[in-house]
Amino acid sequence: MSKVKTISTLIVEDSALMRILLSDILKSDPDIELLGTAKNGKEGVEKARLLEPDVIISDMIMPDYDGVYLVEQVMKENPTPVILLSSLEKNDGLVFDALQKGAFDFLDKPKDDITNSIKAKNYPLTTLVKAAAESNIKKIDVKVNRNSHAFHGSAAYAAIVIGASTGGPGAIENLLKQMPQNLILPVIIAQHMPDSFISSFAKRLDELTALKVKVADSGEEIRAGFIYLAPGHSNMRLRKNPHTGGVVVHFTDKVFTEFNNPSIDCLMESAAEVYGDRMIGCILTGMGKDGTKGLKKVKAKGGLTIAQDENTSVVYGMPKSAFDSGATDKLVPLNQLGGYLVSCL
């Protein structure tokens, strides 16, 4: 019987303690092999060139070139999934720059009790490494004329609800670049991301579009022409306001099976209840199955359901789950998704 190939990895981290902790985690998994470590971005690029690992785990902020430099160089020379570690909220912009340049995903580096936090069983490093090894890291460059997708007339739908996980930040940025700048219905997004990064992501998206992008607040009424991001501290539901007839934001501590804070299933299921057949549900790239149950409910209520196709997904996990389950009949490439949505409106 032939031996199953292990996933080869490289750690790039200036902290000696973090190098040891990360090494211990990787070595504890028989499916993962550690090829070596590097102390900064420059050395990391050199070792990546020499060792050709399957996956690179890199700190974001380091001396002698940071994580953005490493991602940029690796993607130019030999595209390899890079998982970034970041703990500095003031450098959130650098994380999103790195994601846009092709980084696979990022993990929030613990700020307190680092040793125990990193060693905790729920720290998802090995899970992310395995997903990265199977990912499609080919960068999808969407070149769009903003004026090519103008919106005219009234909409057949009342809202677009989007769920995304790994690879989602880049996919969402690309999608918003394709969307009309005069869209007259709300877009509501649940992106799997640590809560500390959500506000920075909203600000970044707000710079890409004439539409207003914000993090949703409890009790807030959903308005047309706004893009709302679910926060990462709770699961978000939508409810009908019995007095105004509008749709309002509500947070819940209810635990969902696939993912929490924010749960895509939670958002989608509640949106299906309030919008019925007047909503579009869309699942983008990501690990796991979150969103499948929600999308099934959207479809059952008569709404339109869409998922990103395999070729343009960084991780074809959530879209595949939705498609295989029958929750959606339509797979659309990322670079055609904006135009497709407009055509449906």
Q: Is 321 in the active site?
A: no
Name the amino acid, one letter, at 210.
Answer: A
Instruction: Return the number of other C-beta atoms located less than 10 Å from residue 126's C-beta.
Output: 16
Contact 256, 265 (CB under 8 A): yes
Strands 247-252 and 235-240: antiparallel
Name the amino acid, one letter, at 208.
Answer: L
Burial of 294 (0-12, 13-18, 19+ CB in 10 A): buried
Instruction: Return the number of other C-beta atoms located less than 10 Å from residue 332's C-beta.
Output: 19
Q: Is 290 in the active site?
A: yes
| Catalytic one of 105, 265, 290, 309 | 290
| Catalytic one of 58, 86, 135, 165 | 165
Residue with tokens 């074809």: 316
Inter-residue long-range contacts of 61-66, CB under 8 Å, 24+ positions, other chains counted: 61/86, 61/88, 61/91, 61/94, 62/12, 62/13, 62/14, 63/14, 64/40, 65/40, 65/41, 66/41, 66/94
| Catalytic one of 54, 66, 192, 234 | 192
Residues annotated as catalytic (active site), given as ranges:
165, 192, 290
